[in-house]
Structure 1
Amino acid sequence: MVEFSGLVKINFFKKEKFTGSCGGMCFKVESKDENSVLLATIWPGPYSSDHTPDEKKQYAEFAFSPEGLEEIQEWLEEQYQAQSALWKPVRIG
């Protein structure tokens, strides 16, 4: 289960990005358009977003609000369940 809403508040995203992973699915949440939108990005691990080709990434936009943050968490969970074949945990080394 993807759960981070208790870890960060909406104001966190005014200055920072939040990244994480769950069972091989990596994700990033960041503000966009001068804090009017939250952008959620997912991609298969194990590499960071910077080292993953754009064609492997999926994006969704949400309102920059506490409700938008809850919707992101729901979307992440839905994507994790719906695309489970993509999220194979990979060990490096």
Structure 2
Amino acid sequence: MISPEIIHVNYIKKEAQTGSYCGMRYRLSKGKNEEGDCMDVTIWPEPFCFVKTPAEQKTTKQFPLTQEGCLEAVAWLNEQHKSRSW
């Protein structure tokens, strides 16, 4: 499982944070939506990096750019990992 302790909202406000877990890669980055700043969380299958993976293999969801949003994002990441065969 991905642990919430490894996700840092202050880091994400400045740079994208990436990682992988058992065949699933993920990227958390600062984004924008109609409400203002948000966190874009993208998942895709290994082995390639974000840039080299085709868009149709990526799934993105937005969360608030807050500590609570990070907790929601981690829960979503773990749910996605369980529900797919990586």
Normalised by the size of structure 1, how large is the TM-score? 0.84
Partners of 1:82 and 1:8 in 2: how far apart? 21
Instruction: Count matched residues.
Output: 84
Higher share in strand:
2
RMSD (Å), alpha carbons? 1.5
Match of 2:14 in 1: 15
Query: Tell me, which stretches of 5 or more residues in structure 1 are unaligned?
Result: 88-93
CA contact (8 A) 2:24 2:81 kept: yes
Normalised by the size of structure 2, how large is the TM-score? 0.90
Q: Residue 18 of structure 2 aligns to a residue in which SS?
A: strand
Query: Tell me, which stretches of 5 or more residues in structure 2 are unaligned?
Result: none
Moved over 3 A (4+): none
Superimposed CA distance per residue, residues 3-49 of structure 1 (whole angstroms, 9 cap, x where no aligned partner): 2x323432111111110000100000000129710000000001101
Q: Is the radius of gyration larger for structure 1 or structure 2? A: 1
Identity fraction in percent: 33
CA contact (8 A) 2:7 2:70 kept: no
